[in-house]
Structure formats: C-alpha cells, structure tokens
Structure 1
Amino acid sequence: MKLRPGGFSADRVLRKFLPRSLLGRSLLIVLVPLVLLQGVALLLFYGNHLNELSRRLAGGVAGEAGFMIDEIDRAPDMRSLIIQETDRYFQFTTVFLPNQVLRHLPPPDAPGPVDDDLARALGQEMHRPFNVAWNTAPDFIRINVQMVDGVLSIDVPRKRLYIGTFYLFLIWLIGTAGLLFGISALFLRTQVRGITRLATAAEAFGMGRDPGPIKPEGAIEVRRAATAFNRMQERLRRFLAQRTIMLAGVSHDLRTPLTRLRLSLAMLPEVEPGEMAEMTGDIAEMEQLIATYLSFARGEGSEQAVPTDVAMLLEDVAAAARRAGATIEIGAPEGLTATLRPEAMRRVLTNLIDNARRHAAHVWLSAAIHGRTLRVSIEDDGPGIPTSQRETVFRPFEAASPGGTGLGLAIARDIVGAHGGDIFLFDRPGGGLRVVIELPA
C-alpha cells in the first residue's frame, strides 16, 4: 500500500517527536539503551528473585499462622497458652475477639506480589474464612481468621514479608542510571560544543562577519574540521586582500588615460560646444561604467558587519535620492537596528532606488522587523517587471533599459546574499513593482 503525499508516515511521526539538536539525539541514543538495560535487570530481579522470595516469606507466615489455628482446633481449652507460645516464637501479636464475625476490607495497597502470595498461602493453610488488613498499622499486617466462636486477630510484623534489598536494588538502578546519563551528557556536550561553534562561525563568515579563528576542540574529526575552517578563512582573507589591491591598481590605470582624454578635450581650440559636451559626457559615462564594473567585481567584501541604525541609513539614502530628483517617502520605526555592512547596504538601496526612479514617478521606502528577519521594501508606481523576466534582471550585463549596464540588481543581490539574505520581486498593489530585501536581524 502506497501512502499519499501528506498521509501518515512513520518517519514523519518520529521526526515530530525526536529532538532536533545533535546533543538531544545523542543523549537519546544513550538514554534509550540505558533505560532498557536497567528495565531488563529490574524485570529479571522482580520476576524471578523477588517473586521467589515473596512466595517463601508468605508461605512461612501462612504456615505459622496455620499451625496456630490447627493447635487451637486440637486443644480449644488451651487456646490462651497456644497463643502465648506461638506469639513468643513467631513474633506474632494475637488477640481473640469472641462472638465477632469477619467484615469486608478494602483491597490491599501492598507493593509487589506479596499480597497475592500471602492470600494464596493463607488459603492453602487455613481452609476457613479470613481476610488481611494491610493498612491497620505501619509496622504490622493483621490477619483475621474466622473461628467457631469468634475472630482470631494475628498481627504479623511487616519485616517478615518484605525484603529491604529490593528497595536498595531499585535505588541502585536509578542512581547508577542517573550517574551514567549525567556523565554522558557532560561528555557529549563537550563534543557537540565544538560542532556548534564551527557552525556559528561558518554562518557568521558567510554573512560577511569576521569571527576570527575558532579554537579546535572535541573529537579529532571535529578538531580537523575546525582547523580546515580556519585555513579556509585565512585563504579567503588573503584572496580578498590581493583582489582589492589588484582592483585598486586597475581602477587607477583606467582612470589615468580617461583623465588625460578629458584634459586633451579641454585644450582643443576648434571644437563646437555641442560636440565638446557630447565627448565630455561619453568620458563621464565611461568613468561611471568603470566604477560600476569594479564595484561589482570587488563585491564590497572587505567591510565588516556592525550594528547599524537602519532607520537612519534609509533617511540618508532617501536624502541622496531626493537630491538626484526622486520623489520618495519613508516608513521605518525609530531605533530599528540590525547587524549589517552599512556601506554595502547603502549601495544596495541606492542601486534599487535609482532603478525605481528611472521607471516611476514615486518611490516608497520602508523597513520593519518580522521575527528574526529584517524586511526592507522599495515600491514604485512604474510599469513593473513581467514575472517571466524577474530572474533575468538579476543577471549581469542584461539591462532592460537603454544606457544601463545591467549590474545594479546583480550587485544588490550579490551584497544581500553575502549578508545571508535574498531579494524578491513582487507586483505592487495598485500597479508598479515591489522589491523586498530580507536579511537576518
């Protein structure tokens, strides 16, 4: 029989109740066999040794009580003497209640099989009505036997029916299980702590934060993983530093001839003003393209993430956009803070707002915290982007508008991805495009 999607599944039920952490599952692996082992030991003791001892102790008490009854039946006139002698030898306390009849007693609350064993043994020895009162006194059990002319009440010390080793054995089982589980928990916690630190450091490094080298600890495999992670961090830092130095040199080498071209144009004597403006504009556009390409290649990787006032960052970006001619509104609560790379996020927001104001008359900028996620929205009232093209616009050099480089959204997604977040495009209610940036808060 095949299960339908969403139907009952044993694996799904197990996943629902199993611990989700490695420490919890490791402790469960230790705890389950430990409990089963102690349970089997208790069952063997309880089912064999304890039952056998209980039957023998109950049989001894029942035989002694039966011996007393038989002697009284053979010599009714010597009942007092028989009671006195049997009490002295058997540690009983016996009282005869003349003209009494047995009354009904509540079920016994004795732990273990001793109550059934005693009742069974008394039934075999007495051959007459009887009952057992377990709760009359804390130190005694009362056996009431119906005689011809009354009730014989026999108080038997509880210690004659119970063995103290059972409770010692039970305490030993629970104590050793707790001790072993505690030692296992401390050991496993030490082992898992190394994996947890490695995962935390990897996540922070992936979001652009530099946690520094982590201390290898735990098992040898975990130490090797931590050492490999430290070496990887060092290689990436060295690579980023070398790339930044190289790009700085490339930027300088490219801008130097453009500057000479600009100076040469200014010194040309016979150039129409209109032609001069066009050539100067071409050079400025080339400089802007070079700056954009270098920014995309650099990826803003050297900046460190710090706690940042998101509301103030949005205000600064909006003010710059207004100076460039944009009509923009902001909605963000005061004191909204998140850990991010501020200059990199400023570039992301600037690129997205520039893209929006080129196609729309009005732009809305907002931010809010939802759980553990920072959500920033840029909305516009432009024509929007068809659903089929929303993934294409994030690819470099595939600009949809004339004069663009196609790098604005690619740079934005690259920076947001380095923060551990993502960018989503939606239709804006009422027309236009809604860009949502989600970042870990």
Structure 2
Amino acid sequence: MGKRRGFRLFPRERWRALRVEKSVRRVLPRSLLGRSLLIVLFPLLITQGIALELYYGNFLRVVSRRLTSSVTAEIVLSLNALERLKNPADKEWFVAQAREQLQLIEIWRPGEKLSRVGSTHVLGPMDDDLVRSLSQAISYPFFISWRHFHHTVRIYIQLPDGVLEIDTPRKRLDMGQIWLFVAWTVGSTLLLFTIAGLFMRNQVRAIRQLALAAEQFGMGRDIGPIRPAGAQEVRKAAVAFNRMQDRITRFVGQRTGVLAGVSHDLRTPLTRLRLSLAMMPREGAVCAEVMTQDLNEMIGDIAEMEHMIDSYLAFARGEGSESVQRVEVQPFLEDVVSAARRANVHVRAVVVEPGLFAHMRPDAMRRALGNLFDNARRHGASVVLSARAVAGGVSIVVDDNGPGIPPERRAKVLRAFESGHGGGTGLGLTIARDIVRAHGGEMELESAPEGGLRVRLYLPD
C-alpha cells in the first residue's frame, strides 16, 4: 500500500504523549477559578510535604533513635543486674531503685510464656526504633505494647524461667508534638487554600463581569460604563473597556448623524440643479448665453456636492486601516506645510524641536492637519505651526490670526455639520478630532496669541 498524500505518520511515543495530554485535559478544570486554585494548591501541598518530610525524616527520627537507645540501655542494665544479683533482697532493692531513679516499673512473673513477639504500631518512628534497638541489645524474645495504657509503654521480655514486665513512661519514647505539627500542616494548608479561594473568586468575578459586559455590548445593548474591580490588571482592562465603549458609541453616533445629514445637505444643490434645468430657456437668441451661465452654476453646484461627498466619505471611512509608524516630526510637518502652501495656505512659520519623533498614522495626520489648514485658508488667516515634546507624548499646535471661535461655541463646532462662521460642511474639525482620538490622543481649541484660533493636538507615545 502506498502512503496517502497529506497523511503524516507519528511515532508511537508521540501518540502516547497525545493520549496522556488529552487525559490530563479531561481531568483539569476548565474554569479560570478552578485552574487558579490548582496553581495555589499544588505548591502548598509540595511545600508542606517537604516540611513534613524534613521534620519526620530528620529531626523526629534522630530524636526517636536517641530516646529509644536511652531506654534500651536502662533495660539492659536492669537485666544484667537482676541476673548477677542472687539475693532476693538485693533484687527487690534494685527494682525499687529502678522505679525511683530510672522510672522503670519491673514486675517478675515466673513460669509464664509470651504468646506473641514484636510490637503494636503507632504513628511515628518510635515503635520501629525501639524494636530495632532491643533486638540489637538483648537476645531474648520480647513484645512491646503501646496501647495497653495511655501514658505507659509495657515491654514483655521472655527470660528462661519467666517473663519480665517493664513499664516505662510513654513520654520518654513518644514525641507528642508530631500531632501538633501534622495538625498545623493540614490546618495551615486548608486556611491558606480557603483564603486563596476567596481572593481568586473575587478576581474571577471581576473578569466574569467584564466578559458579560463585553457580550452585552456586542449584542447592541446599552449597559453603560462598568465599575472597575479586582486586581490592578483587571481594573485597567475595565477602564480600557469603558473607553472603548465610549469611543465606539461616539463613533456610531457620529456616523449616524452623518447619514442623517447627507440628505439634508445634498438637497440644496440638487434643488438648485432642478430649478436651473426647469427654468432653462428652450428657444430664443439669448438661449445660448443663458444656458452657458446656468451650466456654470450647475458645474459649481456639482463641485460643491463632490466636496461634500468627499468629506462625508472621509468622515464615515475613518482612518483605522493604516498602520501606526514611528515618524520624525520635523520632516513630516515640512512635507505637510509644502502641500498646504501649494493649496494657497499661508504658513508663516514652522517651529519644531529637533530630533522629535511621534507614533502616528502619517496619511491620517496629513488629513487632520490639512483640514485645519483649510479652515484657516477659508477664513483668510495665516498659520504658525509648532511642535514640541511634552510629558508622555508630542504636542502639535496650529495657530492662526483669523476671527477665532468664541469659547462658548468651541464644543459645538466639534460636532458634525457645525461650522464656526458658516460655509463648508462642518466636518473639518470633527474629522481632525476623530483622527487624533483614534491615535489615543486629544484635540483642544484655545485662543491664539494673535486673537485667532489655536488648535492643540496631543499624540501619546
């Protein structure tokens, strides 16, 4: 069989790795909260496990071996002394001394036999350590009962003629702190995990609110600005979403206003064309002269309509398709000024800080500055252009010596179809402002030093 075209063969190890990866994905939680809690839980368990192993494997075992060795040495001493002392009175004296000085309670049970050997088991290494130590120290069978009494460990030693019972305090062998350490380990893990869960839940709630707001806004519902909450990054995302929502709402509103105003603005030149055609003389000697005048007027109306349509298209099209570039400001402005002078704009001076760069869409900014120059030319004003670096960006200022715009009308003329002194489509300043805002900046109208209009453009880094 030939190999199928387009079918890629994987090694067996690759398929096995893919199956393991799919199995892990099925087990892992799908939500951000669940995965975040796993990220918190795994380091906690590993850290506590390492701490427990260090305590249990090193400190506890070392201390346990030392304690069991001490008790074993005392038991061996007791066995050796009881074997050498033949007098019953001497044996009783030694047993009493062992009770008082060594805390060993010894009871001799002659003739008895052990039923089992070894040890019962408890938590910790002390049971195994004591069995190991006694096995190395004595050759007799023995049995250790850790559960016979709560505070006592009983050791049965099988001697040739009976059983020796030895009771020793449990505290000499058992380190009760292990329970406290285990409780602290488990309790601290649960406490930290609970705190982390509550904290992560608040963070995830803020992300869910942001996702819900984006979903509702995408469906065209007016939800208003959302309240920033959660971590700093989530708050920044919420603030950015509010700004985006405001810009989109403003964008849609302006484009809707353009569509509503197109029919109104185009109706006037169309009406003049219709009247001119209706009143055009059909016969007579003056027909050619009158027709020539009417045709010139109609050509002017058509040119006006073309200018309006170009402005509407520029406003509705936006400038979002052009990529942002790092542009040197001085040659860029000199190029813009050269084009403006060819269009009969009087630019008196250009003042730019040397070595100044800005991030911009060059064609869009040419359109914005061209609209500002065109406004100045239409009002018979000359222009002074300047640019300098400011905190966080670049400031470009266009000053003219025209009639200016009163402060109370500056906010109004930035709306679509609003003209400062009549004439034009009322879109020049609006388009320029939208272009600057699309760069993340802002445009402000002020009074120029010569009494005209100052337009300040701010472009962020």
State the TM-score, normalized to the length of structure 1.
0.53
The answer to whether 1:68 aligns with 2:78 is: yes
Quote the offset at 1:82 in angstroms. Answer: 2.0
Conserved 8 A contact 1:102-1:146: yes
Letter of the 2:94 counterpart: I
Counting only pairs closer than 5 Å after superposition, residues 243-282 of structure 1 correspond to structure 2 as 243-247=255-259
Measure, in 2, the Cα distance between the counterparts of 1:106 and 1:121: 12
Q: Which residue of 1 aligns with 2:24?
A: 14
Counting only pairs closer than 5 Å after superposition, residues 304-323 of structure 1 correspond to structure 2 as none
Quote the offset at 1:20 in angstroms. Answer: 1.5
Measure, in 1, the Cα distance between the counterparts of 2:85 and 2:15: 83
Conserved 8 A contact 1:69-1:126: no
Of 172, 184, 192, which aligns to 2:204?
192
Counting only pairs closer than 5 Å after superposition, residues 345-384 of structure 1 correspond to structure 2 as none
Q: Which residue of 1 aligns with 2:216?
A: 204
- Structure 1 residue runs of 5 or longer lacking an equivalent are 258-441
Deviations 1:58-93 (A, max 9, x none): 111111111111111001433332222211212222
Of 187, 191, 195, which aligns to 1:175?
187
The answer to whether 1:126 aligns with 2:138 is: yes
Quote the offset at 1:181 in angstroms. Answer: 2.9
Question: 1:73–1:242: structure 2 CA closer, same or farther, 3 Å change rule?
Answer: same
The answer to whether 1:77 aligns with 2:87 is: yes
Q: Which residue of 1 aligns with 2:127?
A: 115
Conserved 8 A contact 1:105-1:133: no
- Structure 2 residue runs of 5 or longer lacking an equivalent are 1-10, 271-461
The answer to whether 1:50 aligns with 2:57 is: no
Letter of the 2:190 counterpart: G
Of 50, 58, 61, which aligns to 1:40?
50
Measure, in 2, the Cα distance between the counterparts of 1:224 and 1:218: 10
Measure, in 2, the Cα distance between the counterparts of 1:250 and 1:113: 91
Conserved 8 A contact 2:110-2:163: yes
Measure, in 1, the Cα distance between the counterparts of 2:177 and 2:56: 11
Deviations 1:304-349 (A, max 9, x none): xxxxxxxxxxxxxxxxxxxxxxxxxxxxxxxxxxxxxxxxxxxxxx
Deviations 1:257-303 (A, max 9, x none): 9xxxxxxxxxxxxxxxxxxxxxxxxxxxxxxxxxxxxxxxxxxxxxx
RMSD: 3.1
Q: Which residue of 2 aligns with 1:226?
A: 238
Secondary structure at the aligned position of 1:101 is classed as coil
Measure, in 2, the Cα distance between the counterparts of 1:162 and 1:20: 46
Secondary structure at the aligned position of 1:144 is classed as strand
Measure, in 2, the Cα distance between the counterparts of 1:6 and 1:179: 39
Measure, in 1, the Cα distance between the counterparts of 2:14 and 2:46: 35
Measure, in 2, the Cα distance between the counterparts of 1:72 and 1:50: 33
The answer to whether 1:158 aligns with 2:170 is: yes
Measure, in 2, the Cα distance between the counterparts of 1:124 and 1:104: 19
Secondary structure at the aligned position of 2:72 is classed as helix
Conserved 8 A contact 1:3-1:9: no
Aligned-pair identity in percent equals 48
Measure, in 1, the Cα distance between the counterparts of 2:14 and 2:135: 60
Question: 1:33–1:81: structure 2 CA closer, same or farther, 3 Å change rule?
Answer: same
Measure, in 2, the Cα distance between the counterparts of 1:71 and 1:5: 72
Letter of the 1:171 counterpart: A
Measure, in 1, the Cα distance between the counterparts of 2:205 and 2:101: 66
Conserved 8 A contact 2:213-2:226: yes
In our comparison, the structure showing a higher alpha carbon Rg is 2
Q: Which residue of 2 aligns with 1:24?
A: 34
Deviations 1:163-201 (A, max 9, x none): 233333323333333333333333333333322211111
Secondary structure at the aligned position of 2:29 is classed as coil
Question: 1:184–1:95: structure 2 CA closer, same or farther, 3 Å change rule?
Answer: same
Secondary structure at the aligned position of 2:49 is classed as helix
Measure, in 2, the Cα distance between the counterparts of 1:225 and 1:50: 51
Measure, in 1, the Cα distance between the counterparts of 2:214 and 2:236: 15
Measure, in 1, the Cα distance between the counterparts of 2:263 and 2:253: 15
Question: 1:7–1:47: structure 2 CA closer, same or farther, 3 Å change rule?
Answer: closer
Question: 1:170–1:111: structure 2 CA closer, same or farther, 3 Å change rule?
Answer: same
Q: Which residue of 2 aligns with 1:89?
A: 101
Q: Which residue of 2 aligns with 1:102?
A: 114
Letter of the 2:156 counterpart: N
Measure, in 2, the Cα distance between the counterparts of 1:214 and 1:73: 90
Secondary structure at the aligned position of 1:95 is classed as strand
Quote the offset at 1:133 in angstroms. Answer: 1.6
Counting only pairs closer than 5 Å after superposition, residues 391-430 of structure 1 correspond to structure 2 as none
> Number of aligned pairs?
259
Letter of the 1:213 counterpart: P
Counting only pairs closer than 5 Å after superposition, residues 135-146 of structure 1 correspond to structure 2 as 135-146=147-158
Question: 1:121–1:106: structure 2 CA closer, same or farther, 3 Å change rule?
Answer: closer
Measure, in 2, the Cα distance between the counterparts of 1:77 and 1:145: 21
Secondary structure at the aligned position of 2:226 is classed as coil
Quote the offset at 1:113 in angstroms. Answer: 1.4
Conserved 8 A contact 2:107-2:165: yes
Conserved 8 A contact 2:117-2:141: no
Conserved 8 A contact 1:54-1:162: yes
Secondary structure at the aligned position of 2:87 is classed as helix
Letter of the 1:112 counterpart: G
Quote the offset at 1:38 in angstroms. Answer: 1.6
Q: Which residue of 1 aligns with 2:394?
A: none
State the TM-score, normalized to the length of structure 2.
0.51
Measure, in 2, the Cα distance between the counterparts of 1:47 and 1:157: 24
